[in-house]
Structure 1
Amino acid sequence: MERVIVARFQGSTHHESVVLWARQEATRRGLALQVVHDALPEGLDDAKLVVTGARDPDGVIFPACPVVLVPEVPAPQLSARPGAEIVLGVDAREPAQAAVDFAFDTARVRGVRLRAVHAWRFPSCTAELPFGVPQEDRAAWENHEVQLLADALRPWREKHSDVHVLEDVGLLPPARALSRRSASAGLVVVGRSSQRGPGPTLRALLTEALCPVAVVPA
């Protein structure tokens, strides 16, 4: 059965951006495009990707394939970033393999850089420090996080040697770290481990993201 990209829209206020993004991605990947209104078709066994609006993520029944949520921006703005990097949100301690695969493959298809963003936080014990975190301790923890990310990505970097990867480690909440990078990105990619709807991190990201967000199931 031929694989397709499904563009799903509701109403008429946002459909141009959704369909435009889906059409461009279908062209890049050499796949057919199927446009549906409101309800997604049953099964979706032949769907490579579902593209829909980001306004109401609760209204999306997340299928077994990746879902791209397109923000409400003018349609031309979505195609005004030629060569824009792909941003991957990755937990260096437990990388979501399907999301990492998807991000590397998308960067390869587009011929662009992949930025792997790992957000970290101070250990809980630092809350009890009376004078804050010493600079040398912060540097040591950050170096450890940098090494964790490098180790986590090594198998993919070896497999996709043609993809240029920038490792980006920051002391920020995950949604904030990703939304900051979305301003100059072509796509943000995150993983999803649950069959339920979007969690608080994804909700926050969708509120702030300035480019489409791909949610990839485990």
Structure 2
Amino acid sequence: MLEIQNLEVCYGKARVVKGVSLQVSRGDCLAIVGANGAGKTSILRAVMGLVPAAGGRIILNGVDLTGRPAWERVTGGAGYVPEGRRVFPALSVEKNLLAGAYRVADQKKVHHSLARVYEIFPRLQERQRQPASTLSGGEQQMLAIGRALMAGPQLLIIDEVSMGLAPVVVNQAFQLIDRLHHEGLTVLLVEQNARKALQVAEWGYLLENGKIILSGRATDLRGHPDFVGAYFGRNVQVK
């Protein structure tokens, strides 16, 4: 479904993503994990066309989208939940959701998507007329995920779902990701909370200083010395 080949991302002279290659197959739940500043968000922003790729290729559903505008990722089947949620604070909850379907011409599909989002997130339906700025952090995260679902994506890309949330809300967020995956949605998750991410993911990539240093089944990554070292230091012993 998604293939990233030798991706390079630069900010000025700083190369923050260094030849990253990975593949997300249909039905996968895949996590890219790593410490803060490893380059995780930059990969997703390049995939979504929000920053230019300095090298490599980004292929979605067989179409090379490298250098193409961001909206073509959405029409190509990708939904994006950005880091920090980035809802429209002055707009109502429902208008935020409808903004996620701005490329969908069939209004029946829009209404169906809205009903599905409200079924998943009853709290959003209760607050549909409220400005997004009045929602709690957890509710805004619901809104950001719901907005991404409005276009009916085949691939849901989520950046740092746990950021700034209370532990109980973090648990709810990961339970939701697990539910969406088991309902058939392909998921690419970037997350600093690696242990949580690798509990819901089937496959994982460990990123360090812009490079993938380890990949494999999520269950195998959790106790690997390189995984522990990337977070806690190279002298920590795995027991």
Per the TM superposition, whether the score is higher than 0.5 is no
